[in-house]
A and B are shown apart, each in its own frame.
Chain A
Amino acid sequence: MQLKTGIGLVLTLMIACRPEVEEIQYGSDACAYCRMTISDRKYGAEFVTQKGKVFKFDAVECMLGYRKENEETYAYDMAVAYNRPGVLQSADSLTYLISPNLPSPMGEFLTAFSTQSVAQEFQEEKGGELFNWPDLQIKFETR
């Protein structure tokens, strides 16, 4: 019986330490990089470290800016797509558009879309350049 409780306890602790994605509370959470209150539901990003610490951002450019200055290992990379406001999705699954005609919260003109076809529609209308997640990270790291 005691063994069972012990195992149960250990399991609970393991679950408690497992990194988990947390929803962004728009209007009250502050961006970990620029300190602004996160408020535009069309934008937002979050990463969770291996240890389960959650960092929330008001825009993808803030997350990339933060990571440039801080070394961490990430369990999850998440971002919000412009066409699916308020929902965090795996950053890897999104397509990114940098277009001078589509302003974003922190001045990088960077917007995420849930699918490549939606991103292309916006690219046709607004102009600009499309990126996938690995290329976008490289672009921000190398400048």
Chain B
Amino acid sequence: MTKPLLILVSAFCFFALPLQAKILTVCTNCPLRTIHQGVALSERGDTVLVKSGYYPENLIEIHQPVVLVGENYPVIDSKYGGEIFTVFADSTVIKGFQLQHIGVSYLKEQSGIRLVENQGCTIENNRLIDTFFGIYLKNVKHTTVRNNVISGNLEGKSDPGNAIHLWQCQEIFIEGNQVSGHRDGIYFEFVNNSKIKGNKSMDNQRYGLHFMFSNNDVYEENIFQSNGAGVAVMFSQYIIMHRNAFVKNWGGAAYGILLKEISHGEMTCNTFEENTKGIYAEGANDLLIRNNDFLANGWAIDIKGSSVDNEILENNFISNTFDVVTNSKRNPNLFLHNYWSHHPAYDLNRDGYADVPYLPVSLFSIIVEKIPAATMLLHSMLVYLFDYAEKIFPSLIPAALSDEEPALRPIQHDTFTESK
């Protein structure tokens, strides 16, 4: 054996020795009574087991990889003071804690758990109550945030934090979390190659999900409900949105989803139900919008003239007050084979599609867009007459925006329901 190889093999053997990982137990009447003590005595790879109890602590910094496990949700209370866990080490696990009561600070984004410039961590099964920012990842890679319940308290807060906040991250998996009562439920800025799956984001002040300058991300099977302004996906490319539910986002500037400056994405098999506007698109290009259900929205889709080359195929538009509205006379997008419940369709040539094209933009939807007070005339005879006349001789509505072959009946496709 050559000498370098020998050194290499012996070095390998040395490092392969089983690490003497200890378990340090912390409880309120143990020798180790605080989590600070437990963390201070721990070495690389140790486990700190925290028994159930009440620990009034904060500012716990973790500088080497440890596994922190709470038994029966021990409560760590910051008493409206600073951050609780700040993790600088890689491969750290924080699991099974109840973290609560972090103070609001204008200048510091204090969080329940903050990960800083590390990788390979797992944050799971924690409850965070009123923690200003919940879980905050800054410059983090390969990390999982799973099954946490993060509930904020909006009362008396003029500037709440975000529940799950990611900034400049890569390959992060956000799964099965429940987030509510924050500014934004899930916040992504400069986050690439990541996945958001099976989360429920409700009753947040602004957005259920807020997505900016982030590319190649997937989000699926999430529920975004009753958020102040719905969901915003902006300045991003190659985003796949699949089987999500956007529900009950009502308000003047509320949307199921706000698409702004986004391209090359896919939106498939999503449900948009009871939103002021299901989709609001401005500067959205090259998107495939297929097999979605638009149910009982004010406007199903508001697509601005700045959005081009989108394909809106095989969606169901059912019982929306208005189907589509746009500010453009032209139609740079393709609408085809959608089902429109407002369309009195018939099929004499039996090709499976309605014989008469459908113009989904009604005159009145354009009027209401410009003069909201006109809503009071909704469902009046006069409005029906105008709309009808416009459909026959389009002069104000974009005649080019039409579905040439509307489907005759609702399209059966894969959807996501909560019960699954």
Complex alpha-carbon distance, A99 and B205, angstroms: 28
Q: Mark B182-195, 1 if CB is under 8 A from A, else 0.
A: 01000001100000
Chain B: number of interface residues, binned into ranges: 20 to 34
* A114 CB within 8 Å of chain B: no
* Chain A binder among B21-29, B172-180, B227-235: B227-235
Residue among B189, B253, B282 having the largest count of chain A Cβ atoms under 10 Å: B253
Tally of contact residues, A, Cβ under 8 A: 19
A12 CB, nearest partner CB in chain B, Å: 24
Residues on A with beta carbons closer than 8 Å to the beta carbon of B189: 103, 107
Complex alpha-carbon distance, A63 and B158, angstroms: 23
Complex alpha-carbon distance, A41 and B252, angstroms: 20
The A contact surface, by secondary structure, is: loop
Q: Nearest CB to that of B235 among chain A residues?
A: A107
Are A39 and B205 within 8 A (Cβ)?
yes
The B contact surface, by secondary structure, is: loop
Complex alpha-carbon distance, A40 and B206, angstroms: 10
Option from A39, A86, A107 in Cβ contact (under 8 Å) with B212: A107
* B159 CB within 8 Å of chain A: yes
The verdict on A41 contacting B253 (CB below 8 Å), with A34-B234, A103-B167 known, is no
* B114 CB within 8 Å of chain A: no
Residues on A with beta carbons closer than 8 Å to the beta carbon of B190: 107
* A35 CB within 8 Å of chain B: yes
A82 CB, nearest partner CB in chain B, Å: 8
Residues on A with beta carbons closer than 8 Å to the beta carbon of B252: 28, 30
Residues on A with beta carbons closer than 8 Å to the beta carbon of B88: none
The verdict on A107 contacting B213 (CB below 8 Å), with A39-B183, A41-B159 known, is yes
Residues on B with beta carbons closer than 8 Å to the beta carbon of A28: 252-253
Residue among A27, A83, A106, A107 having the largest count of chain B Cβ atoms under 10 Å: A27
User: Which chain B residues (229-258) contact chain A, with CB distance < 8 Å?
Assistant: 229, 232, 234-235, 252-253, 258
Are B229 and A37 within 8 A (Cβ)?
yes
Other A-B pairs, 11, CB within 8 Å; known A37-B253, A39-B159, A42-B106: A26-B158, A27-B228, A28-B252, A28-B253, A36-B232, A37-B206, A40-B159, A40-B183, A41-B158, A42-B159, A107-B212
19 CB-based A-B contacts, threshold 8 Å: A26-B159, A27-B158, A27-B206, A28-B253, A30-B253, A35-B258, A36-B232, A37-B207, A37-B229, A37-B253, A39-B206, A40-B183, A41-B158, A41-B159, A82-B107, A85-B106, A103-B189, A107-B212, A107-B213
